[in-house]
A = this chain, B = another copy of it.
Amino acid sequence: MSTTSSPRTRRHQRTQQAILDAARAIISHEGVTALSMRAIAERIDYSPAGLYEYFDSKDEIIAAVCDEAFDQLTQTLRSTDPTLPPREFLRECGVNYVRFAIENTDAFLLMFTNAPLAAPPDAPAEVMLRQSPAFMVLYDAVQRCVDAGIFTPRADYDVLAMAITCWQLVHGMAMLTVTIMRTRPPDLDACRRALDVLLAGIAAQ
């Protein structure tokens, strides 16, 4: 039902999107610290106060940017070549995770640091669910390995636990690459080897 929206509603949504686009542009061009209400307003020829007609606060804008970034991450993971054999497919999913972090460093740091800090501690499942689509791609890839007989789940280490371990490793690779080791040129082949090691460990269980 996208045609049921009135012209006013469409204008509203368009301006809302313009705000998010401006915010994303500022973040990627001048860094997260340069993101301010006034900077966003100036970029889309608005008054700072006018933004509050579309978002209740700066944190809400940041949260919306994070939501978009999570969608983009999910799409990146889904772009992994599905014709690859199960094990290589899972590995390349991890590589793409790291690649996303490298190519969208500011957004990546934003969604995994600022956003969870801003979120109130009473949002248990919602925050977890927001990035679950991205996680599901990994989960399904692990499931494919199980179906192919490469992994054999056990009572104390089931498919979910396997997927979480994979997520943890790729997240650690991504996080360390864009923070502490961001001075060194990123090495995706090293990530590939590390993932091979972990997958061998899971297969050996």
Contacts and interface: CB of A to CB of B under 8 A. Distances in A.
Interface in A73-110: 109
Contacts of A175: 112, 171-172, 175
Contacts of A183: 121, 123-125, 127-128
Interface in A152-195: 156-157, 161, 164-165, 167-173, 175-176, 179-184, 190, 193-194
A168 B178 CA distance: 12
Q: Looking at chain A's contact residues, is the secondary structure mostly helix, strand, loop, or mixed? A: helix
B194 A112 contact: no
A32 B125 CA distance: 24
Interface string A41-82: 000000000000000000000000000000000000000000
Nearest to A105: B117
Contacts of A198: 165, 169, 197-198, 201
Interface of A: 31-33, 109, 112-113, 116-117, 121, 123-125, 127-128, 131, 156-157, 161, 164-165, 167-173, 175-176, 179-184, 190, 193-194, 197-202, 204-205
21 contacts: A112-B179, A113-B113, A116-B179, A116-B180, A116-B182, A123-B183, A124-B184, A127-B180, A127-B183, A128-B183, A164-B190, A165-B169, A168-B172, A168-B173, A169-B172, A170-B172, A171-B175, A171-B176, A201-B201, A201-B202, A204-B204
